């Protein structure tokens, strides 16, 4: 019997992202913080600057940021096979969990009670993201200019300015300030980002079709920037208003499932697909919304080293990097306000901070510990 030898980097990528796909709760900011802990701090697959450059490039393309970061990391560590494997391993566990919950939802017509997950895990997530911000901020803030750009991004985010506009302004500010003298001498024609412009396939409510489901999610995955709230707006416009396939309550339930399960928030598409078309619909919905991410990363990743050789794009990347951290800081502040609501949650955060900063305990164990505390508190009450 022939023994199949799997290259060590490939096995490492598969093992890491399968585990993260099962345990990475908390949304994109928490996911990216956990990635940083695993691939920069613990495994040293890359340094802080390379991680930041991947994060900046990820923010410049549409799609789910944390999934695209996983795909980038897989490509860096294990080549093109790693690109596919990292994304698939991060998505697959979440997809299967959401399909199981979807089955329960269809059978019983309501969601399981999951408040204890939020109660126990969110204080831990605040601490994890805060530590990552400290580490990445030391590398991203290269002087007064980038510091101002990052603080401005935080303020604009709290003022509810569009995140994509914040990234553009942050990158543009650094480019203009760093290269003002060059711009007086050189001819600058501008940079543009050509996004796929996929047409709306239908304009009125129609009977359900797997093909239309797939194409609709493909369009959303190809053009969507922003958080789960932006995803909610896209899904509402297509599935509630245009197609008439979902009620508003079903859509809110779908978003909730995406947020409370581990892995990518975009597995909301899995829930909607199952609700509308069973297992084939779940698979097609998941494939449609995530496929553009693999394509965008495959095309953009080889360009990242070249970005550092261009004074214009290098400045843009520096600005986007620090603006991205400003957005993460804004999300963290909002999460802290929402989650640190009583002495118990404050205590969870303090203990998590001690275990993380003093003993460098793996963030996955902290997340699971927070969930356990939340469950125990709920049972006692």
Q: What string of DSSP letters covers 87-151?
A: HHHHHHHHHHHHHHHHHHHHHHSSPPP-HHHHHHHHHHHHHHHHHHHHHHHHHH--SHHHHHHHH
Closest CA to 39 of 30, 50, 24, 25: 50
The domain tally of the chain equals: 1
Q: At what angle do helices 163-178 and 311-339 cross, to 10 degrees?
A: 140
Query: What one-character DSSP code corresponds to residue 356?
Result: I
Q: Is residue 1 part of a domain?
A: no
| Within a domain: 309 | yes
Burial of 298 (0-12, 13-18, 19+ CB in 10 A): middle
Indicate the DSSP class of residue 244.
-
Q: Give the dihedral of Cα atoms 45, 49, 55, 59; nearest 10 deg.
A: -160
Q: Is residue 229 included in any domain, yes or no?
A: no
Of 368, 319, 286, nearest in space to 145 by CA: 319
DSSP for 138-205, please give it: HHH--SHHHHHHHHHHHHHHHTT--HHHHHHHHHHHHHHHHTHHHHHHS-----------PPPS-SS-
Residue 266 covered by a domain: no
What value does the CA radius of gyration of the chain take, rounded to a whole number of Å? 21
Nearest to 85 by CA among 282, 294, 279: 294
C-alpha to C-alpha distance for 259 and 266, rounded to whole angstroms: 9
Six-digit token string for 161: 């300015």
The candidate with the shortest Cα–Cα distance to 324, out of 57, 20, 73, 46, is 57
CB 100 within 8 A of CB 111: no
Please state, in angstroms and rounded to a whole number, the distance separating the CA atoms of residues 57 and 50.
11
Residue 251 in any domain: the answer is: no
Predicted local distance difference test score (pLDDT) of residue 225: 60
Domain hosting 78: range is 8-193+298-380
CA distances in angstroms from 285 to 1, 3, 288, listed in the order given: 39, 36, 5
102 part of a folded domain: yes
Q: Is residue 285 part of a domain?
A: no
Q: DSSP for 30-74? A: HHHHHHHIIIIIIS-SS-HHHHHHHHHHHHTSSS-HHHHHHHHHH
Q: What is the DSSP letter of 2?
A: P
If the chain, 381 residues long, is cut into consecutive pieces of 10 residues, what is the mean pLDDT of each piece? 64 92 79 90 90 83 86 92 94 93 80 69 81 78 86 87 76 78 47 38 66 92 64 77 84 74 87 94 96 91 72 74 78 81 92 90 80 88 76
The reply to whether 174 falls in a domain is yes
The confidence score (pLDDT) of residue 198 equals 37
Q: What is the pLDDT of residue 157?
A: 80
Q: Which residue has the tokens 């902290």?
A: 366
């Amino acid at each position: 019997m022939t023994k199949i030898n799997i290259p060590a980097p490939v096995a490492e990528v598969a093992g890491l992202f399968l585990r993260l796909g099962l345990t990475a709760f908390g949304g994109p900011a928490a996911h990216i913080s956990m990635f940083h802990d695993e691939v920069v701090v613990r495994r040293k697959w890359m340094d802080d600057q390379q991680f930041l450059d991947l994060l900046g490039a990820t923010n410049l393309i549409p799609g789910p940021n944390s999934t695209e970061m996983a795909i980038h990391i897989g490509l860096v560590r294990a080549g093109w096979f790693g690109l596919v494997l990292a994304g698939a391993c991060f998505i697959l566990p979440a997809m299967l969990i959401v399909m199981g919950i979807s089955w329960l939802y269809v059978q019983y017509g309501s969601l399981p009670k999951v408040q204890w997950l939020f109660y126990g895990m969110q204080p831990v997530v605040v601490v994890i993201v805060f530590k990552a911000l400290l580490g990445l901020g030391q590398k991203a803030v290269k002087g007064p200019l980038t510091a101002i750009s990052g603080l401005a991004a935080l303020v604009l985010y709290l003022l509810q300015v569009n995140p994509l506009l914040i990234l553009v302004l942050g990158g543009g500010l650094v480019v203009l300030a760093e290269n003002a003298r060059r711009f007086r001498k050189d001819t600058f024609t501008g940079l543009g980002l050509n996004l796929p412009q996929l047409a709306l396939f239908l304009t009125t409510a129609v009977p359900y079709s797997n093909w239309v489901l797939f194409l609709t999610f493909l369009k959303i995955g190809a053009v969507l920037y922003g958080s789960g709230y932006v995803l909610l707006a896209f899904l509402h416009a297509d599935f509630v208003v245009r197609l008439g396939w979902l009620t508003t309550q079903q859509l809110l339930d779908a978003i909730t499932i995406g947020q409370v399960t581990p892995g990518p928030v975009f597995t909301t598409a899995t829930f909607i697909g199952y609700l509308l078309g069973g297992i084939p619909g779940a698979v097609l919905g998941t494939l449609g919304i995530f496929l553009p991410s693999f394509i965008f990363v495959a095309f953009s990743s080889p360009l990242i080293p070249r970005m550092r050789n261009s004074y214009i794009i290098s400045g843009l990347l520096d600005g986007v990097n620090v603006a991205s951290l400003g957005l993460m800081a804004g999300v963290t502040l909002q999460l802290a306000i929402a989650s640190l609501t009583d002495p118990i949650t404050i205590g969870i955060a303090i203990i998590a901070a001690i275990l993380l900063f003093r003993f460098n305990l793996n963030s996955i164990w902290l997340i699971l510990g927070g969930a356990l505390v939340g469950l125990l508190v709920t049972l006692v009450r």
